[in-house]
Amino acid sequence: MTINIENEKKGAMTTTNVESSRRNFIFGSVAAAGLTVAPGMMLYQTANARSQSEKATSKVRWGMLVDTTKDVDWNKCVDACNNEHGLGNEHKSRDDQKTQYIRVVDVKNKGTGYSISLPVMCQHCEKPPCVDVCPTGASMKRPDGIVLVDRHRCIGCRYCMMACPYKARSFVHEVLSDQKENTPRGKGCVESCNMCVNRIDNGQEPACVEASDGAIIFGDLNNPESPISKILAKHGGKQIRADLKLNPGVHYQGI
């Protein structure tokens, strides 16, 4: 059941956190049914489960579905992300230089006063421009759709930051210490949300999904039987800037 409420939202859009126009950002909305999921519950079973000794394959395409109509404090997800990856250990950088994997973007219709808030992380594009431009092969996409930076190869040129239309990437400006065991990160490398690849390979959901009280669903977009695919098939979802045809793995409802 897709209800287009575009008419209700006509008028000038303003954004806080991001400066570019979000006219294209909001292009309709989807009424989402109440799909409550217990926190931490595993919502993804894959028909193509692989053992830890197998390579990631393109049989699986990991994705997320964010329901912005749920009354969730997205900062809980940001905190869970920061905690999982040990972000926030920069002490000398300016605030706008510090790494963030998830930005909370607030969008408001000046005409109606209608506003929404949504978490924007790396959208794990199927055709990622960040990978296209990387001169070293550091910016890479795993066969299962996860886009990440191989810091062993990153030279910090920041081309990928310029290429990413979602402003998803950050550059580490200072020497770091006290990183998390599972998320090595350091000065001179670009980084972004890696969909908690360490957790996924371990059979867990990404940290933001776990912290979202069911407002973010994670799963295999290639498997029509997975909960995320079923919900997308039944209720639909939107990709941010779908017009760019990058086919992001992150879908939204309520935008």
Partner 1 sequence: MWLHLNFNFGFNSSFVSKSLKKLPLTVAGLAFIAGINTVNANQDGLGPKITIPESSGESCILPSAEMRRQHPDLLKHDRIQTLREGVRAKADGGKLDGSLKQCVNCHAIKDASSKFVRIDNDQHFCVSCHKYAAVSIDCFQCHRDIPEGDGEFHALTNHKGINYSNIVPGTSSLTIKDMANIAPEVISDDN
CA 167 to CA 165: how far, in whole Å? 6
Nearest distance, CB of residue 114 and ligand SF4, angstroms: 26
How far does the chain reach from its first CA to its final CA, in angstroms?
15
Interaction between residue 56 and partner 1 (CB under 8 A): yes
Number of residues that bind partner 1 (CB under 8 A): 30
CA 8 to CA 3: how far, in whole Å? 11
Interaction between residue 98 and partner 1 (CB under 8 A): no
Binder to partner 1 among 19, 71, 95, 178 (CB under 8 A)?
178
Binder to partner 1 among 1, 36, 53, 92 (CB under 8 A)?
53
CA 255 to CA 239: how far, in whole Å? 9
Binder to ligand SF4 among 29, 192, 223, 226 (CB under 6 A)?
192
Nearest distance, CB of residue 216 and ligand SF4, angstroms: 16
25, interface contact from ligand SF4, partner 1, none, CB < 5-8 Å by kind: none
DSSP percent split of the chain into helix, strand, coil, nearest 5: 20, 15, 65
Interaction between residue 177 and partner 1 (CB under 8 A): yes
- Cα torsion 64, 128, 117, 198: sign: positive
Q: 107 or 148: whose CB is closer to ligand SF4?
A: 148
φ, ψ dihedrals at 207, nearest 5°: -60, -40
**Among 23, 51, 171, 29, CA closest to 110:** 23
CA 21 to CA 180: how far, in whole Å? 36
Interaction between residue 203 and partner 1 (CB under 8 A): no
What is the Rg, in whole angstroms, of the alpha carbon atoms belonging to the chain? Answer: 18
Interaction between residue 81 and ligand SF4 (CB under 6 A): no
Q: 151 or 235: whose CB is closer to ligand SF4?
A: 151
Number of residues that bind ligand SF4 (CB under 6 A): 29
178, interface contact from ligand SF4, partner 1, none, CB < 5-8 Å by kind: partner 1
Interaction between residue 156 and partner 1 (CB under 8 A): no
227-234 own/partner pairs: CB under 8 Å, 24+ apart? 227/43, 227/44, 228/43, 228/44, 228/63, 228/64, 228/65, 231/35, 231/65, 232/65, 234/33
Q: Which tokens in the block code for residue 65?
A: 């579905």
Span near partner 1 by CB under 8 A; candidates 117-125, 148-156, 162-170, 235-243: 148-156
Residues of the shown chain interacting with ligand SF4 in the complex, contacts defined by CB under 6 A = 122-125, 128-130, 133-136, 138-139, 147, 149, 154-160, 164, 166, 168-169, 190, 192, 246
Residues of the shown chain interacting with partner 1 in the complex, contacts defined by CB under 8 A = 51-56, 140, 142-144, 148, 150-152, 175-182, 184-187, 189, 197, 201-202
